[in-house]
Amino acid sequence: MRPLFRLKPYLFRYKKTLLFGLLTVIGSNAFTVVQPMFLGKAVDQLKRGIGSHTFVSSDLLVWAGLIVGFSIIAGIFTFLTRQTIIVTSRHIEFDLRNDLLSHLQKLSYSYFQNKPTGDLMAHATNDISAVRNVVGPGIMYPSDTFMTLTFVLIMMFMNDWQLTLLVLIPMPFVSYVVYRLGKLVNKIFTDRQEQFSLLTTRAQETLSGVRIVKAYVREEYEEDRFRKLSWDYLKKNLVLAKVQSIMWPMMFVLVGLSLVITIYFGGLKVIDGRMTIGTLTAFTAYLGMLIWPMIAFGWVTNILQQGAASMGRLAAIFDTEPEIKDTEATNHSIDHIDGDIEFRSVSFMHKNAAQPTLKNINLKINSGMTVAIVGYTGTGKSTLVNLIPRLYDITRGELLIDGNDIRRIPLEVLRSNIGFVPQETFLFSETIAENIRYGVDNFVEEDLKSAADISQITKDVLEFPKQFDTTIGERGITLSGGQKQRTSIARAIMRQPKILILDDALSAVDTYTEENILQHLREFMKGRTSIIISHRISTVKNADLIVVLQNGEIVERGTHNELVELDGIYSELHRKQLLEQELETM
C-alpha cells in the first residue's frame, strides 16, 4: 500500500471538497442508522394493536413517515457524497494524467529509446484508471463503511450487547480472509498490468508498421503473435477473477453465520420474553446493514491492492529523473543565443556501449556559417548534431554556444533557438498548416507561406483540395517522402531559428528541388548558423566548411575544392557520385 502515499499532494489539493464529502458521509449514515429503530417501534406497535384487537393506523403512519423522511434526507446526503468525492477523483485523474505526460516530456531522449510506446500508453490508460478508483470508491466506500460500522455497532450494543458480541464472532475471520486474498490480488493484478503493456505495445507497433506488415504479407504472423499475447492476458484475467470469486462467497458465508446466530439466539430471547419482536426485527435490520460494509471491505481491499500495484508502476516513471535538465549551474539570465558553436575535445558514448560514438571532436562554427557533415553510415554524424540541442549530453570535453558551456544555457532558450529536422521525419495527424506552425505560438500567415516557399512545398500544397488546411494522416502517411521532408523543413524555418540543423533532410527530394531549397535557405540563413548532414555531395558542396567523420572522429575538413584535392574520403565519395550521375545519364 506504500505507493498510495504518493497521492497525498493530490488529495491535499482538494482537501476542502473531500472534507465536505466526508461530512456528507456522516450525515447519510446518521439518517440511515436510526431507520431500523423506527421499524422496530412500528413492529411493536403493530403487535400491541393486534393483541388488543385495536389498530392504531395513525401511529404506524408516523413511523412510516419518519422512515420515508429519513430515507430521503439520507439519499440527499448520498448524492452530495458522490458529487464531492467521486467528482474529485475525476479531477485527480485529470491532474495525474497531465502530470504523467508533463513528466514524460521532461525525460531524456534515451529514455524513450528503451521504453516501448505501448507500455507507456498502458500506464496512461489502465494504471491511471486503477488509481482513480482508489481516490473515488477507495475513499468513499471505506469512509462510508467505517461510519456505518461504527453507528450500527453502537445501536446494536444499545439494544443487546450480549447478542452483539455473539454476532461479531465470525468478523475476525472476514478480516483474515481479506488480508490473505488481498496480497494475492496485488501480485496477480501487477502481472496482469504488465501483460497488458506487452499487448498494447504489440498492437501499437503492428498498426504503426502496417505498411511493412502488408508489404511482407505478415498479417497472419502478426495475428498469431497478438493472439498469443491476448491469450496470456486472458489467462491472467481469469486467475484474477478466480481469486476475486473466492473472496465474495467467503464474505457472504461469514456474514450469513452472523445472521444464523442472530435468528437463533435472538429468537430464544424473544421466546423467553427478554426481547421484543420489534427489537429483534431492528437487530436483524442492523445486521443487514452490516452485510454491505463487510462485503465492501473486501471489494475496497481489491481496489486498494490494484491501485497500489498501478501506482507503483506509475511511481517508477515519476521517480525517473531527467538526465538532461536545468540545474543550479544554469544561467537563467541567458535569454537568447547568436549561433556560435564550438566543440572542444568532445567525446560521447551511449550507455552500455562498447566504445565511444564520438571521439575528440574539435570544431569551431562561427555564427552565420554553413557547415556540412559527411561520412559513411554509422560514423556518428547524427549523434554529433544531437548534442547541440542537448538531446544527448556530452561524455567528455566542452560544448560551447556563444562562449557559454551548453549546460549553463536554459534548455527552453537553447531549443527554442534551434530549428531541427531529424533524419526520421515526423508529422502530426493535423493540417499541413498546423504542422508547419507547430512550435510557434505567435505567427502571421505571411510567415507560414514564406516558410513553405523556402522549403518548396507550396506548389504541392496548392494542388491539394483544401491546400494548407488539408489534414494529413498519421505520421504524414498521405504525403510522399519528399513532401514530408519539405513540410518538416518549413516547420523548422517557421521558428526563425538562430541555428538550423538538417539531418539528411533532403534525401527524398530530387536534385532540382534540392538546389532550389538550398538556394532559398542560403538567403534566409544569412547571419544564422546552418548545419547540414547529407550523403549527397551536391547538397554540401557550397558549404563554408565541410567536415568528414570516420569512426566518430573528424578525419578531413575544408571546402569542397580543398577536400577534392586532398584525395581522401570526401574525394572518393565525390568520384562515386559523379560516376553514378554519368551512368544515369547513359
All domains in the chain, ordered by first residue: 2-318 (1.20.1560.10), 369-390+411-585 (3.40.50.300)
Total Cβ atoms within 10 A of residue 103: 15
- The pLDDT of residue 583 is 65
Whether pLDDT at 53 is above 50: no
- The pLDDT of residue 101 is 84
Measured distance CA(314)–CA(523) in Å, rounded: 49
492 or 53, higher pLDDT = 492
Whether pLDDT at 573 is above 60: yes
Residue 510, C-alpha cell as written in the block: 530530387
**132-145 mean pLDDT:** 78
Provide the 3-class DSSP secondary structure of residue 346. Answer: strand
Of 6-15, 29-38, 43-52, minimum mean pLDDT range: 43-52
Residue 405, C-alpha cell as written in the block: 558551456
Q: Please write the tens of the pLDDT for every residue from 184-224.
A: 776 787 788 778 877 887 787 777 677 677 766 777 878 88
**531-538 mean pLDDT:** 84
**372-396 mean pLDDT:** 87
Residue 261, C-alpha cell as written in the block: 446466530
Measured distance CA(114)–CA(566) in Å, rounded: 41
**316-322 mean pLDDT:** 82
Whether pLDDT at 44 is above 80: no
Whether pLDDT at 56 is above 60: no
Q: Please write the tens of the pLDDT for every residue from 88-101.
A: 888 888 888 888 88
The DSSP annotation for 515-538 comes to HHHHHHHHHHTTTSEEEEE-S-HH
Confidence of residue 21 (pLDDT cuts 50, 70, 90): confident
Of 55-69, 188-202, 360-374, minimum mean pLDDT range: 55-69
User: Cα separations (Å) of 43 from 36, 39, 279, 287, 290?
Assistant: 10, 6, 9, 17, 21
In terms of average pLDDT, the best of 49-58, 224-233, 437-446, 480-489 is 224-233
Strand partners, 364: 342
* Average predicted confidence (pLDDT) for the chain: 80
- The pLDDT of residue 168 is 76
- The pLDDT of residue 495 is 83
Measured distance CA(407)–CA(389) in Å, rounded: 10
- Closest by CA position to 372, among listed 250, 501, 565: 501
Measured distance CA(109)–CA(394) in Å, rounded: 14
Whether pLDDT at 570 is above 50: yes
**265-270 mean pLDDT:** 79
Q: SS3 breakdown of the chain: % helix, strand, coil, rounded to 5?
A: 65, 10, 25
Q: Please write the tens of the pLDDT for every residue from 426-465.
A: 887 788 888 888 877 777 778 888 888 888 888 878 888 8
Whether pLDDT at 46 is above 80: no
- The pLDDT of residue 179 is 66
**384-403 mean pLDDT:** 88
Whether pLDDT at 52 is above 70: no
